[in-house]
Amino acid sequence: MTAPVLADENVDHRVVHRLEHYGIDVEHVDFTSELNKGCPDGRIAEYSRETGRVVLTNDDDFLSSFGSDDLAGVLFVEDESLDYATVAEIVNAILEAIDGPEGRVFYVSENWL
């Protein structure tokens, strides 16, 4: 069973649909009743920690502003030129390869493929 994911507002909704297709439990900030577009990063981190959801984002504030105890983990998309299908494929590969996020940061890059 893979870790559940929380997609930040900057994540293409098509990535979420692909992840769902892979059988991953994923929520998008835009459609989560406790969060919404424009929600402060601190609230997203808190929700991540409370629910055990790894934050999928390209917002580097999640790398610099929070420690490993502040959220369940981060899937950081550094290369914004990756298309949505590739991002979803890489995230799926990462989640299949790890036992749990445990507050760690994983860089979503083609090195995982």
- Which residue is listed with tokens 């860089």? 107
Q: What is the mean pLDDT of each run of 10 residues along the chain (113 residues)?
A: 93 98 97 92 96 97 94 96 98 94 94 93
Q: What pLDDT does 64 receive? A: 95
Strands 105-107 and 74-76 come out as parallel
Domain boundaries, the chain: 5-112
- What are the Cα distances from residue 91, in Å, to 33, 40, 97, 105? 24, 24, 10, 12
Write down the pLDDT at residue 36: 86
In the prediction, which pLDDT does 101 show? Answer: 85
Residue 99: its pLDDT value, please?
A: 86
pLDDT reported for residue 37: 87
3-state secondary structure of 82: coil
Residue identified by tokens 């098509």 is 14
